[in-house]
Structure 1
Amino acid sequence: MKFSANLGFLWADRPLPEAIHAAKAAGFAAVECHWPYDTPVSEINAALSETGLPMLGLNTRRGNLGAGENGLTALPGREAEARAAIDEALEYASQTGTGAVHVMAGFSGGPRAHATFVDNLRYACDQAEPDGITILIEPLNHYDAPGYFLSTSEQAAAIIHEIGRDTLKLMFDCYHLQIMEGDLSRRLARLLPLIGHIQIASVPDRGKPDHGELDYGYILREIDKLGWTGAIGAEYKPNAPTNDTLEWLHNQNH
Protein backbone atom coordinates (compact mmCIF):
# COMPACT_ATOMS: atom_id res chain seq x y z
CA MET A 1 0.00 0.00 0.00
CA LYS A 2 1.03 3.59 -0.53
CA PHE A 3 1.18 6.09 2.33
CA SER A 4 1.05 9.88 2.40
CA ALA A 5 2.77 11.91 5.11
CA ASN A 6 0.49 14.54 6.63
CA LEU A 7 2.93 17.38 7.20
CA GLY A 8 0.55 19.19 9.50
CA PHE A 9 1.72 16.71 12.15
CA LEU A 10 4.77 14.89 10.76
CA TRP A 11 8.02 16.89 10.74
CA ALA A 12 5.94 19.86 11.84
CA ASP A 13 9.07 21.39 13.38
CA ARG A 14 10.58 21.88 9.92
CA PRO A 15 9.71 24.26 7.09
CA LEU A 16 7.35 22.58 4.64
CA PRO A 17 9.94 22.14 1.85
CA GLU A 18 12.27 20.37 4.30
CA ALA A 19 9.40 18.24 5.56
CA ILE A 20 8.63 17.16 1.99
CA HIS A 21 12.23 16.00 1.56
CA ALA A 22 12.07 14.19 4.91
CA ALA A 23 8.90 12.37 3.82
CA LYS A 24 10.63 11.21 0.64
CA ALA A 25 13.67 10.00 2.56
CA ALA A 26 11.42 8.08 4.98
CA GLY A 27 9.71 6.18 2.17
CA PHE A 28 6.38 7.95 1.85
CA ALA A 29 4.78 7.96 -1.61
CA ALA A 30 3.01 11.32 -1.25
CA VAL A 31 2.47 14.26 1.09
CA GLU A 32 -0.48 16.30 2.29
CA CYS A 33 -0.71 19.30 4.57
CA HIS A 34 -3.05 21.44 6.64
CA TRP A 35 -2.46 25.16 6.03
CA PRO A 36 0.55 25.77 3.75
CA TYR A 37 -0.24 29.37 2.90
CA ASP A 38 2.76 30.97 4.61
CA THR A 39 5.10 28.98 2.34
CA PRO A 40 5.59 30.43 -1.16
CA VAL A 41 4.20 28.24 -3.93
CA SER A 42 7.59 28.29 -5.66
CA GLU A 43 9.24 26.64 -2.64
CA ILE A 44 6.60 23.93 -2.46
CA ASN A 45 6.85 23.24 -6.18
CA ALA A 46 10.64 23.02 -6.01
CA ALA A 47 10.46 20.45 -3.21
CA LEU A 48 7.77 18.42 -4.96
CA SER A 49 9.79 18.45 -8.17
CA GLU A 50 13.02 17.45 -6.44
CA THR A 51 11.39 14.57 -4.57
CA GLY A 52 8.88 13.48 -7.21
CA LEU A 53 6.16 13.35 -4.54
CA PRO A 54 2.61 14.51 -5.29
CA MET A 55 0.76 16.81 -2.87
CA LEU A 56 -2.59 15.16 -2.22
CA GLY A 57 -4.49 17.69 -0.16
CA LEU A 58 -4.68 20.86 1.91
CA ASN A 59 -7.30 22.57 4.09
CA THR A 60 -9.21 25.81 3.83
CA ARG A 61 -8.27 28.29 6.53
CA ARG A 62 -9.92 27.93 9.91
CA GLY A 63 -10.91 31.57 10.37
CA ASN A 64 -10.22 33.61 13.49
CA LEU A 65 -7.81 31.47 15.49
CA GLY A 66 -7.95 33.85 18.43
CA ALA A 67 -11.66 33.10 18.68
CA GLY A 68 -11.03 29.36 18.36
CA GLU A 69 -12.63 29.00 14.95
CA ASN A 70 -12.15 25.79 12.99
CA GLY A 71 -13.60 26.52 9.57
CA LEU A 72 -16.09 28.95 8.07
CA THR A 73 -18.15 27.04 5.53
CA ALA A 74 -21.17 26.22 7.74
CA LEU A 75 -21.31 29.59 9.51
CA PRO A 76 -24.40 31.63 8.51
CA GLY A 77 -23.49 35.23 7.74
CA ARG A 78 -19.86 34.41 6.98
CA GLU A 79 -20.37 33.36 3.37
CA ALA A 80 -18.04 35.98 1.90
CA GLU A 81 -15.17 34.91 4.16
CA ALA A 82 -15.88 31.23 3.56
CA ARG A 83 -15.80 31.65 -0.19
CA ALA A 84 -12.63 33.75 -0.03
CA ALA A 85 -11.02 30.89 1.92
CA ILE A 86 -12.25 28.40 -0.68
CA ASP A 87 -10.86 30.55 -3.51
CA GLU A 88 -7.51 30.87 -1.75
CA ALA A 89 -7.25 27.12 -1.14
CA LEU A 90 -8.19 26.24 -4.71
CA GLU A 91 -5.69 28.74 -6.11
CA TYR A 92 -2.90 27.32 -3.96
CA ALA A 93 -3.92 23.78 -4.90
CA SER A 94 -4.02 24.62 -8.58
CA GLN A 95 -0.57 26.20 -8.49
CA THR A 96 0.98 23.26 -6.63
CA GLY A 97 -0.80 20.45 -8.46
CA THR A 98 -2.61 19.46 -5.25
CA GLY A 99 -5.44 17.07 -5.96
CA ALA A 100 -7.93 17.86 -3.20
CA VAL A 101 -9.07 20.62 -0.86
CA HIS A 102 -10.66 19.83 2.50
CA VAL A 103 -13.33 22.48 3.03
CA MET A 104 -13.64 22.97 6.78
CA ALA A 105 -17.17 23.39 8.14
CA GLY A 106 -16.59 25.09 11.49
CA PHE A 107 -18.50 25.19 14.79
CA SER A 108 -22.18 25.54 14.04
CA GLY A 109 -25.43 23.60 13.91
CA GLY A 110 -29.05 23.57 12.86
CA PRO A 111 -30.94 24.07 9.58
CA ARG A 112 -29.37 27.45 8.72
CA ALA A 113 -25.89 26.03 9.17
CA HIS A 114 -26.81 23.07 6.96
CA ALA A 115 -28.16 25.34 4.21
CA THR A 116 -25.09 27.56 4.43
CA PHE A 117 -22.73 24.58 4.24
CA VAL A 118 -24.53 23.13 1.23
CA ASP A 119 -24.59 26.45 -0.65
CA ASN A 120 -20.90 27.05 0.00
CA LEU A 121 -20.00 23.50 -1.02
CA ARG A 122 -21.86 23.95 -4.29
CA TYR A 123 -19.80 27.09 -4.85
CA ALA A 124 -16.60 25.15 -4.03
CA CYS A 125 -17.50 22.39 -6.49
CA ASP A 126 -18.20 24.94 -9.23
CA GLN A 127 -14.84 26.62 -8.66
CA ALA A 128 -12.91 23.34 -8.37
CA GLU A 129 -14.28 21.61 -11.43
CA PRO A 130 -12.22 23.39 -14.15
CA ASP A 131 -8.95 22.32 -12.50
CA GLY A 132 -10.14 18.81 -11.68
CA ILE A 133 -9.69 19.36 -7.94
CA THR A 134 -11.69 17.21 -5.52
CA ILE A 135 -13.58 18.88 -2.67
CA LEU A 136 -13.42 16.90 0.57
CA ILE A 137 -15.58 17.14 3.68
CA GLU A 138 -14.45 15.47 6.90
CA PRO A 139 -16.44 14.54 10.00
CA LEU A 140 -14.54 15.44 13.19
CA ASN A 141 -15.11 13.75 16.54
CA HIS A 142 -16.84 15.53 19.39
CA TYR A 143 -13.93 15.16 21.82
CA ASP A 144 -11.34 16.97 19.69
CA ALA A 145 -13.83 19.34 18.05
CA PRO A 146 -16.94 19.71 20.23
CA GLY A 147 -19.67 21.57 18.37
CA TYR A 148 -18.16 20.99 14.92
CA PHE A 149 -20.94 21.01 12.32
CA LEU A 150 -19.95 17.76 10.61
CA SER A 151 -19.49 14.85 12.99
CA THR A 152 -20.55 11.56 11.33
CA SER A 153 -20.08 9.77 8.05
CA GLU A 154 -23.87 9.41 7.76
CA GLN A 155 -24.31 13.19 7.88
CA ALA A 156 -21.50 13.67 5.34
CA ALA A 157 -22.93 11.04 2.99
CA ALA A 158 -26.36 12.67 3.11
CA ILE A 159 -24.84 16.04 2.19
CA ILE A 160 -22.81 14.51 -0.65
CA HIS A 161 -25.97 12.87 -2.02
CA GLU A 162 -27.94 16.11 -1.62
CA ILE A 163 -25.40 18.10 -3.61
CA GLY A 164 -24.93 15.33 -6.17
CA ARG A 165 -21.57 16.41 -7.59
CA ASP A 166 -18.83 13.98 -8.59
CA THR A 167 -16.20 16.43 -7.36
CA LEU A 168 -17.48 16.25 -3.74
CA LYS A 169 -16.11 13.37 -1.66
CA LEU A 170 -15.77 12.13 1.91
CA MET A 171 -12.51 12.35 3.84
CA PHE A 172 -12.69 9.07 5.75
CA ASP A 173 -10.48 9.64 8.79
CA CYS A 174 -10.42 6.32 10.64
CA TYR A 175 -9.42 8.04 13.88
CA HIS A 176 -12.41 10.40 13.97
CA LEU A 177 -14.93 7.85 12.70
CA GLN A 178 -13.85 5.08 15.07
CA ILE A 179 -14.54 7.47 17.95
CA MET A 180 -17.89 8.64 16.58
CA GLU A 181 -19.30 5.51 14.93
CA GLY A 182 -17.00 2.48 14.84
CA ASP A 183 -17.82 -0.51 12.59
CA LEU A 184 -15.12 0.75 10.22
CA SER A 185 -14.80 -2.29 7.96
CA ARG A 186 -18.48 -2.29 6.97
CA ARG A 187 -18.54 1.50 6.87
CA LEU A 188 -15.57 1.62 4.49
CA ALA A 189 -17.19 -0.94 2.20
CA ARG A 190 -20.55 0.83 2.19
CA LEU A 191 -19.16 4.32 1.65
CA LEU A 192 -16.33 3.46 -0.74
CA PRO A 193 -17.94 5.14 -3.79
CA LEU A 194 -18.11 8.41 -1.82
CA ILE A 195 -14.60 8.32 -0.35
CA GLY A 196 -11.99 10.69 -1.74
CA HIS A 197 -9.22 10.13 0.82
CA ILE A 198 -8.51 7.91 3.83
CA GLN A 199 -6.47 8.87 6.89
CA ILE A 200 -5.19 6.85 9.85
CA ALA A 201 -4.00 7.36 13.42
CA SER A 202 -4.25 5.30 16.59
CA VAL A 203 -7.32 5.55 18.81
CA PRO A 204 -7.74 7.08 21.32
CA ASP A 205 -4.41 8.96 21.50
CA ARG A 206 -4.04 9.90 17.79
CA GLY A 207 -0.52 8.51 17.80
CA LYS A 208 1.30 6.33 15.29
CA PRO A 209 -0.97 3.63 13.83
CA ASP A 210 0.60 0.59 15.53
CA HIS A 211 -1.26 0.47 18.86
CA GLY A 212 -4.57 1.33 20.49
CA GLU A 213 -8.06 0.00 19.95
CA LEU A 214 -7.88 -0.16 16.14
CA ASP A 215 -5.97 -3.02 14.46
CA TYR A 216 -4.61 -1.28 11.40
CA GLY A 217 -3.04 -4.49 10.18
CA TYR A 218 -6.61 -5.70 9.69
CA ILE A 219 -8.11 -2.38 8.56
CA LEU A 220 -5.46 -1.79 5.90
CA ARG A 221 -5.93 -5.31 4.52
CA GLU A 222 -9.66 -4.65 4.29
CA ILE A 223 -9.05 -1.36 2.47
CA ASP A 224 -6.76 -3.20 0.05
CA LYS A 225 -9.40 -5.90 -0.53
CA LEU A 226 -11.91 -3.19 -1.42
CA GLY A 227 -9.65 -2.19 -4.31
CA TRP A 228 -8.53 1.16 -2.91
CA THR A 229 -5.59 2.39 -4.98
CA GLY A 230 -5.00 5.81 -3.43
CA ALA A 231 -2.41 6.60 -0.79
CA ILE A 232 -3.42 6.33 2.87
CA GLY A 233 -2.79 9.54 4.80
CA ALA A 234 -0.72 9.18 7.97
CA GLU A 235 -2.22 11.98 10.05
CA TYR A 236 -0.96 11.16 13.50
CA LYS A 237 0.73 13.14 16.27
CA PRO A 238 4.25 11.81 16.87
CA ASN A 239 5.20 11.30 20.53
CA ALA A 240 8.88 11.62 19.57
CA PRO A 241 10.86 13.03 16.62
CA THR A 242 8.98 11.87 13.53
CA ASN A 243 11.87 9.75 12.25
CA ASP A 244 11.73 7.77 15.50
CA THR A 245 8.03 6.90 15.01
CA LEU A 246 8.17 5.26 11.57
CA GLU A 247 8.68 1.58 12.39
CA TRP A 248 5.06 0.95 11.39
CA LEU A 249 5.78 2.39 7.91
CA HIS A 250 8.94 0.36 7.44
CA ASN A 251 7.04 -2.79 8.45
CA GLN A 252 4.35 -2.00 5.85
CA ASN A 253 6.94 -1.38 3.13
CA HIS A 254 8.79 -4.67 3.69
Structure 2
Amino acid sequence: MTGLRFDANLKWLFTEVPFVERFDAAARAGFTAVEYASPYEYEARQLGSLLANAGLEQILINTPMGPAGSPTRSGYACFPDLVGEYREGVLRGLEYATALGAKFLHVVGGIVPEGVSADRAFARYVANIAWAAEQARGTGIRLLLEVQNKRDAPGFVLTSQAQAAAVVEAVGDNLVGLLLDFYHAQIDEGDIVRTFEKYRDTAFHLQIADVPERHEPGTGEIAYANLFRAIESSGYDGWIGCEYQPATDTVAGLTWMKDLTQ
Protein backbone atom coordinates (compact mmCIF):
# COMPACT_ATOMS: atom_id res chain seq x y z
CA MET A 1 0.00 0.00 0.00
CA THR A 2 2.49 2.57 -1.17
CA GLY A 3 -0.20 5.24 -1.46
CA LEU A 4 -0.70 5.59 2.30
CA ARG A 5 1.18 8.36 4.11
CA PHE A 6 1.59 8.19 7.89
CA ASP A 7 2.76 11.03 10.11
CA ALA A 8 3.92 10.78 13.71
CA ASN A 9 1.98 12.48 16.47
CA LEU A 10 4.74 13.72 18.75
CA LYS A 11 2.47 14.06 21.76
CA TRP A 12 1.97 10.29 21.70
CA LEU A 13 4.99 8.79 19.95
CA PHE A 14 8.68 8.85 20.90
CA THR A 15 7.89 9.83 24.47
CA GLU A 16 11.04 7.94 25.48
CA VAL A 17 12.83 11.25 24.83
CA PRO A 18 12.00 14.91 25.59
CA PHE A 19 9.66 16.66 23.16
CA VAL A 20 12.35 18.65 21.36
CA GLU A 21 14.23 15.42 20.61
CA ARG A 22 11.20 13.67 19.12
CA PHE A 23 11.56 15.40 15.75
CA ASP A 24 14.91 13.74 15.05
CA ALA A 25 13.64 10.47 16.50
CA ALA A 26 10.67 10.50 14.12
CA ALA A 27 12.92 11.22 11.14
CA ARG A 28 15.27 8.39 12.11
CA ALA A 29 12.29 6.04 12.25
CA GLY A 30 11.36 6.95 8.67
CA PHE A 31 8.64 9.55 9.17
CA THR A 32 8.63 12.59 6.90
CA ALA A 33 5.86 14.51 8.64
CA VAL A 34 4.55 15.14 12.15
CA GLU A 35 1.59 16.51 14.05
CA TYR A 36 0.98 17.37 17.69
CA ALA A 37 -1.74 19.05 19.67
CA SER A 38 -0.02 21.98 21.34
CA PRO A 39 2.94 23.96 20.02
CA TYR A 40 2.25 26.87 22.33
CA GLU A 41 4.78 25.99 25.01
CA TYR A 42 7.54 26.75 22.49
CA GLU A 43 8.50 29.62 20.22
CA ALA A 44 7.33 29.02 16.67
CA ARG A 45 10.83 29.82 15.47
CA GLN A 46 12.30 27.03 17.62
CA LEU A 47 9.78 24.50 16.34
CA GLY A 48 10.41 25.59 12.77
CA SER A 49 14.11 24.95 13.23
CA LEU A 50 13.44 21.50 14.68
CA LEU A 51 11.26 20.66 11.69
CA ALA A 52 13.76 21.95 9.16
CA ASN A 53 16.75 20.24 10.78
CA ALA A 54 14.92 16.92 10.81
CA GLY A 55 13.56 17.33 7.28
CA LEU A 56 9.95 17.08 8.49
CA GLU A 57 6.67 18.61 7.36
CA GLN A 58 4.14 19.91 9.91
CA ILE A 59 0.66 18.56 9.17
CA LEU A 60 -1.55 19.89 11.94
CA ILE A 61 -1.80 21.52 15.33
CA ASN A 62 -4.79 22.10 17.61
CA THR A 63 -6.29 25.32 18.86
CA PRO A 64 -5.34 26.03 22.50
CA MET A 65 -7.11 24.09 25.25
CA GLY A 66 -7.45 24.68 28.97
CA PRO A 67 -5.42 22.85 31.62
CA ALA A 68 -6.03 19.16 32.31
CA GLY A 69 -9.03 18.75 34.59
CA SER A 70 -10.46 22.18 33.78
CA PRO A 71 -13.86 22.70 32.08
CA THR A 72 -12.01 23.84 28.93
CA ARG A 73 -9.62 20.86 28.84
CA SER A 74 -11.16 19.78 25.51
CA GLY A 75 -11.42 23.22 23.94
CA TYR A 76 -13.38 26.47 24.07
CA ALA A 77 -15.51 26.33 20.93
CA CYS A 78 -18.85 25.48 22.58
CA PHE A 79 -18.65 27.88 25.54
CA PRO A 80 -21.18 30.73 25.12
CA ASP A 81 -19.46 32.83 27.77
CA LEU A 82 -15.91 32.40 26.47
CA VAL A 83 -16.18 33.70 22.92
CA GLY A 84 -13.33 36.14 23.42
CA GLU A 85 -11.01 33.44 24.73
CA TYR A 86 -12.02 31.16 21.86
CA ARG A 87 -11.33 33.80 19.22
CA GLU A 88 -7.97 34.64 20.76
CA GLY A 89 -7.09 30.94 20.62
CA VAL A 90 -8.10 30.58 16.98
CA LEU A 91 -6.00 33.57 15.97
CA ARG A 92 -3.06 32.23 17.94
CA GLY A 93 -3.52 28.84 16.31
CA LEU A 94 -3.58 30.37 12.84
CA GLU A 95 -0.45 32.34 13.65
CA TYR A 96 1.42 29.21 14.72
CA ALA A 97 0.06 27.12 11.84
CA THR A 98 1.23 29.76 9.37
CA ALA A 99 4.68 30.00 10.94
CA LEU A 100 5.08 26.20 10.94
CA GLY A 101 3.67 25.66 7.47
CA ALA A 102 0.92 23.41 8.86
CA LYS A 103 -1.81 22.34 6.49
CA PHE A 104 -4.50 22.07 9.16
CA LEU A 105 -5.69 23.68 12.38
CA HIS A 106 -7.90 21.38 14.45
CA VAL A 107 -10.50 23.56 16.17
CA VAL A 108 -11.17 21.55 19.32
CA GLY A 109 -14.88 21.51 20.16
CA GLY A 110 -15.06 21.27 23.93
CA ILE A 111 -17.19 19.67 26.63
CA VAL A 112 -20.67 21.17 26.99
CA PRO A 113 -20.30 23.47 30.03
CA GLU A 114 -22.24 22.86 33.21
CA GLY A 115 -25.53 24.74 33.27
CA VAL A 116 -25.65 25.17 29.48
CA SER A 117 -28.01 23.12 27.32
CA ALA A 118 -26.55 20.93 24.60
CA ASP A 119 -28.52 22.87 21.99
CA ARG A 120 -27.18 26.23 23.13
CA ALA A 121 -23.62 24.93 23.29
CA PHE A 122 -23.92 23.45 19.81
CA ALA A 123 -25.36 26.68 18.38
CA ARG A 124 -22.39 28.61 19.79
CA TYR A 125 -20.04 25.96 18.39
CA VAL A 126 -21.45 26.32 14.86
CA ALA A 127 -21.24 30.12 15.04
CA ASN A 128 -17.67 29.89 16.33
CA ILE A 129 -16.60 27.53 13.54
CA ALA A 130 -18.09 29.87 10.94
CA TRP A 131 -16.12 32.76 12.47
CA ALA A 132 -12.91 30.72 12.44
CA ALA A 133 -13.43 29.86 8.78
CA GLU A 134 -13.60 33.55 7.93
CA GLN A 135 -10.32 34.14 9.77
CA ALA A 136 -8.68 31.23 7.93
CA ARG A 137 -9.78 32.45 4.51
CA GLY A 138 -6.77 33.29 2.38
CA THR A 139 -4.22 31.74 4.76
CA GLY A 140 -4.01 28.38 2.98
CA ILE A 141 -4.86 26.68 6.28
CA ARG A 142 -7.92 24.46 6.49
CA LEU A 143 -9.85 23.79 9.68
CA LEU A 144 -10.62 20.36 11.10
CA LEU A 145 -13.54 19.22 13.27
CA GLU A 146 -13.23 16.01 15.29
CA VAL A 147 -15.76 13.89 17.15
CA GLN A 148 -14.41 12.50 20.43
CA ASN A 149 -15.91 9.38 21.96
CA LYS A 150 -18.29 9.53 24.89
CA ARG A 151 -16.22 7.13 27.01
CA ASP A 152 -13.06 9.26 27.05
CA ALA A 153 -14.74 12.65 26.66
CA PRO A 154 -18.27 12.48 28.11
CA GLY A 155 -20.31 15.54 27.22
CA PHE A 156 -18.26 16.45 24.14
CA VAL A 157 -20.20 18.91 21.97
CA LEU A 158 -20.08 16.78 18.80
CA THR A 159 -21.91 13.49 19.27
CA SER A 160 -21.60 11.81 15.85
CA GLN A 161 -19.79 11.95 12.53
CA ALA A 162 -23.09 12.91 10.90
CA GLN A 163 -23.44 15.93 13.17
CA ALA A 164 -19.87 17.03 12.47
CA ALA A 165 -20.41 16.58 8.73
CA ALA A 166 -23.54 18.74 8.95
CA VAL A 167 -21.44 21.55 10.47
CA VAL A 168 -18.93 21.19 7.63
CA GLU A 169 -21.74 21.45 5.09
CA ALA A 170 -23.28 24.46 6.82
CA VAL A 171 -20.00 26.38 6.87
CA GLY A 172 -19.12 25.41 3.29
CA ASP A 173 -16.35 26.90 1.13
CA ASN A 174 -14.15 23.80 1.44
CA LEU A 175 -12.32 25.52 4.30
CA VAL A 176 -13.60 23.13 6.95
CA GLY A 177 -13.49 19.34 6.96
CA LEU A 178 -13.55 16.32 9.24
CA LEU A 179 -10.67 14.94 11.22
CA LEU A 180 -11.85 11.33 11.18
CA ASP A 181 -10.23 9.52 14.10
CA PHE A 182 -10.90 5.79 13.82
CA TYR A 183 -10.27 5.20 17.52
CA HIS A 184 -13.09 7.55 18.51
CA ALA A 185 -15.32 6.38 15.66
CA GLN A 186 -14.97 2.69 16.53
CA ILE A 187 -15.86 3.23 20.19
CA ASP A 188 -18.98 5.28 19.55
CA GLU A 189 -20.31 4.15 16.18
CA GLY A 190 -18.35 1.19 14.76
CA ASP A 191 -18.76 0.13 11.11
CA ILE A 192 -15.71 2.25 10.37
CA VAL A 193 -15.06 1.16 6.79
CA ARG A 194 -18.58 2.26 5.84
CA THR A 195 -18.15 5.39 7.95
CA PHE A 196 -14.98 6.27 6.06
CA GLU A 197 -16.63 5.59 2.71
CA LYS A 198 -19.61 7.77 3.65
CA TYR A 199 -17.48 10.74 4.72
CA ARG A 200 -14.53 10.20 2.38
CA ASP A 201 -15.00 13.53 0.58
CA THR A 202 -15.51 15.44 3.83
CA ALA A 203 -12.55 13.93 5.70
CA PHE A 204 -9.46 16.08 5.21
CA HIS A 205 -7.33 14.14 7.70
CA LEU A 206 -7.38 10.71 9.37
CA GLN A 207 -6.00 9.49 12.70
CA ILE A 208 -5.45 5.96 13.95
CA ALA A 209 -5.17 3.98 17.18
CA ASP A 210 -6.54 0.59 18.11
CA VAL A 211 -9.40 -0.12 20.50
CA PRO A 212 -9.76 -0.52 23.43
CA GLU A 213 -6.34 0.48 24.83
CA ARG A 214 -5.40 3.12 22.24
CA HIS A 215 -2.22 1.27 21.31
CA GLU A 216 -0.78 0.82 17.80
CA PRO A 217 -2.79 -0.85 15.00
CA GLY A 218 -2.89 -4.61 15.34
CA THR A 219 -3.12 -4.66 19.13
CA GLY A 220 -6.90 -4.47 19.44
CA GLU A 221 -10.22 -5.09 17.77
CA ILE A 222 -9.98 -3.00 14.59
CA ALA A 223 -9.17 -4.94 11.41
CA TYR A 224 -6.67 -2.33 10.28
CA ALA A 225 -5.39 -4.30 7.28
CA ASN A 226 -8.89 -4.21 5.82
CA LEU A 227 -9.35 -0.56 6.74
CA PHE A 228 -6.04 0.45 5.13
CA ARG A 229 -7.04 -1.37 1.93
CA ALA A 230 -10.32 0.54 1.88
CA ILE A 231 -8.53 3.85 2.41
CA GLU A 232 -6.03 3.19 -0.36
CA SER A 233 -8.63 1.94 -2.83
CA SER A 234 -10.69 5.09 -2.23
CA GLY A 235 -7.93 7.27 -3.65
CA TYR A 236 -7.48 9.17 -0.39
CA ASP A 237 -4.15 10.98 -0.73
CA GLY A 238 -4.02 12.84 2.58
CA TRP A 239 -2.06 12.05 5.72
CA ILE A 240 -2.89 9.51 8.41
CA GLY A 241 -1.82 10.63 11.87
CA CYS A 242 -0.45 8.01 14.27
CA GLU A 243 -2.13 9.18 17.46
CA TYR A 244 -1.67 6.18 19.71
CA GLN A 245 0.13 5.23 22.91
CA PRO A 246 2.75 2.60 22.03
CA ALA A 247 2.22 -0.63 23.94
CA THR A 248 5.94 -0.81 24.70
CA ASP A 249 8.69 1.03 22.80
CA THR A 250 7.74 3.38 19.97
CA VAL A 251 10.22 2.09 17.39
CA ALA A 252 9.71 -1.58 18.29
CA GLY A 253 5.97 -1.10 17.83
CA LEU A 254 6.25 0.32 14.31
CA THR A 255 6.30 -3.16 12.76
CA TRP A 256 2.56 -2.72 12.11
CA MET A 257 3.41 -0.40 9.20
CA LYS A 258 4.86 -3.32 7.27
CA ASP A 259 2.63 -6.06 8.63
CA LEU A 260 -0.72 -4.33 8.01
CA THR A 261 -0.04 -2.40 4.80
CA GLN A 262 1.32 -5.13 2.48
* Length-normalised TM-score, structure 2: 0.92
SS in 2 for 1:14: coil
Paired with 2:22 and 2:174, the residues of 1 have a C-alpha distance of 32
Matched with 2:154 is 146
Identity, % of aligned positions: 36
Paired with 1:12 and 1:84, the residues of 2 have a C-alpha distance of 30
Following superposition, the deviation at residue 165 of structure 1 comes to: 2.8
1:5 to 8, 12, 17: 8
Paired with 2:217 and 2:230, the residues of 1 have a C-alpha distance of 15
Following superposition, the deviation at residue 52 of structure 1 comes to: 2.3
2:250 to 211, 220, 242: 242
Please say which of residues 41-50 and 85-94 is displaced more in the overlay.
Answer: 41-50
Following superposition, the deviation at residue 134 of structure 1 comes to: 0.8
Q: 2:224, 2:260 within 8 Å by CA — same for their partners in 1?
A: no
- 2:182 is the counterpart of 1:178: no
Following superposition, the deviation at residue 66 of structure 1 comes to: 4.5
- 2:52 is the counterpart of 1:44: no
Paired with 1:110 and 1:66, the residues of 2 have a C-alpha distance of 20
SS in 1 for 2:137: helix
Matched with 1:17 is 20
Q: What CA RMSD, in Å, does the superposition of the two structures yield over aligned residues?
A: 1.6
1:218 to 220, 226, 229: 226
1:127 to 120, 125, 135: 135
* Length-normalised TM-score, structure 1: 0.95
AA aligned to 2:42 is T
Following superposition, the deviation at residue 63 of structure 1 comes to: 2.0
Instruction: State the Cα deviation string for residues 146-193 of structure 1 (Å, max 9, x = none).
Output: 111113101101111122231100000000001111111111111111
Structure 1 residues without counterparts, runs of 5 or longer: none
Q: 1:141, 1:180 within 8 Å by CA — same for their partners in 2?
A: yes
Following superposition, the deviation at residue 249 of structure 1 comes to: 2.4
Paired with 2:233 and 2:244, the residues of 1 have a C-alpha distance of 24
Following superposition, the deviation at residue 240 of structure 1 comes to: 2.0
Paired with 1:127 and 1:13, the residues of 2 have a C-alpha distance of 37
Classify 1:168/1:238 alpha carbon distance in 2 versus 1 (closer, same or farther; 3 Å): same
Paired residues in the alignment total: 254
Matched with 1:72 is 76
- 2:197 is the counterpart of 1:189: yes
Q: 2:225, 2:261 within 8 Å by CA — same for their partners in 1?
A: no
Paired with 2:234 and 2:69, the residues of 1 have a C-alpha distance of 42
Pairs within 5 Å for 1:58-97: 58-68=61-71, 69-97=73-101
- 2:235 is the counterpart of 1:230: no
Paired with 1:153 and 1:199, the residues of 2 have a C-alpha distance of 14
2:107 to 78, 103, 106: 103
Paired with 1:105 and 1:130, the residues of 2 have a C-alpha distance of 23
AA aligned to 1:40 is E
Classify 1:253/1:175 alpha carbon distance in 2 versus 1 (closer, same or farther; 3 Å): closer
Structure 2 residues without counterparts, runs of 5 or longer: none
Paired with 2:69 and 2:181, the residues of 1 have a C-alpha distance of 26
Please say which of residues 170-179 and 150-159 is displaced more in the overlay.
Answer: 150-159
Classify 1:88/1:15 alpha carbon distance in 2 versus 1 (closer, same or farther; 3 Å): farther
